């Protein structure tokens, strides 16, 4: 659908006035033009360029919850502020994650900290991306009764994501391979905290507050489906990293090289014979294509792809029955959850 590009473009167009709002704060403080330009460059470099699925989800969810096909400009703009809030949160996490992981590229361009003159200043730039969220919430939502709920939701999800990062960083440091630290239980935990909360629960919860459908019971219903959905999404991601088509995904997977605590390695560890385990111990997480090939050979021997397909059917069945049981009597809609599931099920990228 040609529509999809237009939908994304409309959302991107809504970023410019938000950047203006943020730069206006700097001008009000009489910050030098040099520093203002720097911040502007960081905002665009780090927030735009991805798929923007998280931000767009706020708008889609709000439409479903209110039953509106078209939003007024004002309504769209406010939903877009919340959507860009998530994208800024993600930018904050990605800029710093790339430093912590010593990554080279992100979204097809050098990581921000590798851009000439940036270096470790990127850490402070990441902070400013995060703080921008609260400047925008204050400007656009201060007079709403649910303003403090939005602020607390961002704080809570930020902390959850930081906890996921911490566990990931101490479980799978890039320079110290120790597969005995891995387990499917840890994987599940890392994935839920590091990804599911901010990518799945956050956009829906934000839209729920804005739509006024935000009783604790309805928020819990959303949470209880979106967290397993987010876990399924990340396991797909781990699967596609190894088995997806790089031409379709747009990048070559590096999870094996990078010692990632991926669903595949954790499943392999559970099934491995002593001989296979020795090969995995020796070759996983080595920055070496030969080692990577040996790990992939073990995966093939074990037929991990079939394990993945089994997992996927089980997970999707479970999520569907959770959705079936959602109570719509207070205003929450199953369609919100089905729309997420439909976007994800059997995705190729």
Catalytic residue among 54, 194, 260, 333: 194
The answer to whether 200 is a known catalytic residue is: no
Contact call for residue 97 and Mg ion (CB under 5 A):
yes
The answer to whether 168 is a known catalytic residue is: yes
| Of 32-40, 49-57, 228-236, 308-316: span binding its own copies (CB under 8 A) | 32-40
Is-contact 250 109, C-beta < 8 A? no
The answer to whether 233 is a known catalytic residue is: yes
The answer to whether 20 is a known catalytic residue is: no
CB of 60 to its own copies, least distance (A): 28
Contact call for residue 167 and its own copies (CB under 8 A):
yes
Is-contact 327 213, C-beta < 8 A? no
Contact call for residue 96 and its own copies (CB under 8 A):
yes
CA distance 277 to 17: 54
For residues 62 and 189, which CB has a smaller minimum distance to Mg ion in the complex? 189
By CB under 8 A, name the one of 120, 143, 329, 348 that touches its own copies.
120
For residues 35 and 342, which CB has a smaller minimum distance to its own copies in the complex? 35
Contact call for residue 155 and its own copies (CB under 8 A):
yes
Is-contact 23 135, C-beta < 8 A? no
237 binds, among Mg ion, its own copies, none (CB under 5 to 8 A by kind): Mg ion
Angle at 147 (CA atoms; ends 145, 149), nearest 5 degrees: 100
Is-contact 341 251, C-beta < 8 A? no
Contact call for residue 101 and Mg ion (CB under 5 A):
yes
The answer to whether 237 is a known catalytic residue is: yes
CA distance 63 to 60: 5
| Of 125-133, 226-234, 249-257, 297-305: span binding its own copies (CB under 8 A) | 125-133
What is the 3-class SS of 123-180, one letter each residue? HHHHHHHHHHHHHHHHHHHCCCCCHHHHHHHHHHHHHHHHHHHHHHHHHCCCCCCCHH
Catalytic residue among 10, 27, 51, 330: 51
CA distance 192 to 261: 13
| Of 52-60, 151-159, 289-297, 315-323: span binding its own copies (CB under 8 A) | 151-159
**Interacting residues of 148 by C-beta distance below 8 A, sequence separation 6+:** none
CA distance 170 to 61: 35
Contact call for residue 131 and its own copies (CB under 8 A):
yes
241 binds, among its own copies, Mg ion, none (CB under 5 to 8 A by kind): Mg ion
**Which residues, numbered 214-253, are part of the site for Mg ion (CB under 5 A)?**
237, 241
Q: How far is CA 240 from CA 49, 168, 299, in A?
A: 21, 20, 14
Angle between helices 334-344 and 202-211 (to 10 degrees): 150
Q: Which among 319, 327, 343 has a CA at the least distance from the CA of 60?
A: 343
Catalytic residue among 168, 218, 241, 255: 168
Angle at 311 (CA atoms; ends 308, 312), nearest 5 degrees: 85
For residues 100 and 293, which CB has a smaller minimum distance to its own copies in the complex? 100
Q: How many CB atoms lie within 10 A of CB 119?
A: 12
CB of 234 to its own copies, least distance (A): 17
Contact call for residue 186 and its own copies (CB under 8 A):
yes
The answer to whether 92 is a known catalytic residue is: yes
Report the interface residues with Mg ion, using CB under 5 A. Answer: 97, 101, 237, 241
Q: Which residues bind its own copies (CB under 8 A)?
A: 25-26, 29-32, 34-35, 38-39, 96, 99-100, 102, 120-121, 123-128, 131, 134-135, 138, 147-148, 151-152, 155, 158-160, 162-163, 165-167, 169-170, 186, 189, 193
- Catalytic site positions: 51, 92, 97, 101, 106, 168, 194, 233, 237-238
């Amino acid at each position: 659908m040609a529509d999809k590009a237009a939908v994304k473009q409309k959302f991107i167009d809504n970023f410019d006035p938000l950047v203006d709002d943020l730069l206006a704060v700097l001008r009000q403080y009489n910050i030098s033009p040099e520093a203002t330009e720097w911040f502007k460059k960081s905002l665009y470099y780090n927030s735009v360029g991805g798929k923007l699925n998280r931000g767009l989800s706020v708008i889609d969810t709000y439409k479903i919850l209110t039953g509106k096909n078209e939003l007024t400009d004002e309504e769209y703009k406010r939903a877009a502020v919340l959507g860009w809030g998530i994208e800024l949160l993600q930018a904050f996490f990605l800029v710093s994650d790339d430093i912590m992981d010593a990554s080279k590229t992100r979204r097809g361009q050098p990581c921000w900290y590798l851009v000439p003159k940036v270096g470790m200043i990127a850490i402070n730039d990441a902070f400013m991306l995060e703080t921008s969220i609260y400047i925008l919430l204050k400007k656009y939502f201060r007079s709403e009764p649910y303003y403090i709920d939005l602020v607390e939701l961002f704080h809570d999800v930020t902390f959850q994501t930081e906890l996921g990062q911490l566990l990931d960083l101490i479980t799978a440091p890039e320079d110290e391979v120790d597969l005995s630290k891995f387990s499917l239980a840890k994987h599940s935990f890392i994935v839920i905290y590091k990804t599911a909360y901010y990518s799945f629960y956050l956009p829906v919860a934000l839209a729920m507050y804005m739509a006024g459908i935000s009783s604790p019971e309805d928020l819990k219903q959303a949470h209880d489906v979106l967290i397993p959905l987010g876990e399924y999404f990340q396991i797909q991601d781990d699967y596609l990293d190894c088995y997806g088509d790089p031409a379709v995904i747009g990048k070559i997977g590096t999870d094996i090289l990078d010692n990632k605590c991926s669903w595949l390695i954790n499943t392999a560890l559970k099934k491995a014979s002593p001989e296979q385990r020795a090969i995995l111990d020796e070759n996983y997480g080595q920055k070496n294509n030969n080692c990577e090939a040996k790990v992939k050979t073990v995966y093939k021997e074990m037929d991990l792809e079939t394990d993945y397909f089994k997992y996927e059917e089980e997970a999707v069945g479970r999520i569907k029955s959770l959705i079936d049981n959602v109570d719509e009597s207070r205003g929450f809609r199953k369609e919100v959850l089905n729309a997420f599931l439909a976007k994800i099920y059997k995705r190729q990228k």
